[in-house]
Amino acid sequence: MERAFALLSVFTVDRPAMTLSELSRRSGLPLSTTHRLVAALVELRALTRNPDGGYSVGLRLLELGALSPGSLGLRDRAVPFLEDLYEVTRHNVQLAVRDGLEVVYVERISARDAVNVVTRVGSRMPLHCTGVGLVLLAAAPAAVQEEVLAGPLRRFTERTIVRPAELREVLARVRRDGYAISDRQIELITFSVAAPVRDAAGDVVASVSVVVPTGTRTDTVVPAVRACGLAISRALGWASA
C-alpha cells in the first residue's frame, strides 16, 4: 500500500500525466514494480491510461476524494452560497481548506470568460501567497505560523511576499480586518479577495475567495466575499455575536 501511495503522490498540478518510466523515476520505484502497481491501479480505476500511453489520476480517486470528512459537509453547505457569489461577481470563486502548510482547493466555480487562474479542485498552493492561504494562516495555530515564517517563502512574481516581517504584518491586518487581499502574488494580472469560513465552534475551517483582474475595485468585491463567508459559516452552525 505504501508503494502504491508513493506512486500516486508523484502526480501534481504541474504533472497531471506521466509515462511509466517517469512514474518509476519520480517515485524511486523499480520499473518492474511500477509496471505491476500501475496495472493494478488502472484495474481499480485509480489511474487511467491515456491515448498517448501516459497515465493520469482516475475517476475513482476523484470520487473518493469528494467523500473526505474534511470537505463533504463543507462543500455541500457551501456550494449554494458560492453560486450566489459567482452570480454577483461573475469571476472565479474558490473554496479552500488548510492541510499542513498548504492550501487545498475543494471547490471552484468559474466562467468561460473569467480571468485565468492556475488552481483547480484538488490542487495545492503555499499558504503565504494566496488570499485563502492568508486567511487560513492568520487563523492557524502559532506553531504553524512560525513554521511558515521560518521559510523559505516561495516567490511566484515580483509582488509575492517573501519577507517574514512583511508576512507578519499582513497576517495581523487579516485578523484585524476579517478578510485578505492577495495582490498579484501568483500572477501579475490578478488579485484575490478572501474571507474566513467558521464552524459551529467559531474556528476558521475554510476560506472563500474571488479572483479578479488587476484594476477591479475592491469595494465592490470585499463585501460580497465577506457576506459569502458569513453565510457559509451560519450554514455550518456558527452564530455571530
Whether residue 45 is found in the same domain as residue 154: no
- Grid coordinates 450566489 are at which residue? 84
Whether residue 13 is found in the same domain as residue 93: no
Q: What is the C-alpha to C-alpha distance for residues 139 and 96, in angstroms, rounded to an integer?
A: 14
Total number of domains in the chain = 2
Asked if residue 180 belongs to a domain, the reply is yes
Asked if residue 241 belongs to a domain, the reply is no
Range of the domain at 19: 1-65
CA angle, 82 then 87 then 93, to 5°: 40
How many CB atoms are closer than 10 A to CB 178? Answer: 15
Whether residue 48 is found in the same domain as residue 152: no
Last residue of a domain, one of 16, 40, 65: 65
**Smallest Cα–Cα separation from 154: which of 94, 191, 207, 103?**
103
- Grid coordinates 509575492 are at which residue? 160
Contact by Cβ (8 Å): 10, 26: yes
Whether residue 223 is found in the same domain as residue 193: yes
Whether residue 102 is found in the same domain as residue 18: no
Query: What CATH number corresponds to the domain at position 230?
Result: 3.30.450.40
Whether residue 105 is found in the same domain as residue 43: no
Last residue of a domain, one of 44, 65, 86: 65
- Grid coordinates 512560525 are at which residue? 146
Whether residue 195 is found in the same domain as residue 177: yes
Per-residue confidence of the chain (241 residues) as pLDDT tens digits? 778 888 888 887 667 788 888 888 888 889 988 888 888 888 888 888 888 888 888 767 766 665 554 555 788 889 999 999 999 888 999 999 998 899 989 898 887 766 667 677 878 899 999 999 999 999 999 999 999 999 899 999 999 999 999 999 999 999 999 999 998 988 888 889 999 999 888 999 999 999 988 888 888 899 999 999 999 999 988 886 5
Contact by Cβ (8 Å): 34, 27: yes
pTM of the model: 0.72
Asked if residue 44 belongs to a domain, the reply is yes
Whether residue 173 is found in the same domain as residue 231: yes
Whether residue 86 is found in the same domain as residue 199: yes
Residue 182: DSSP 8-state: E
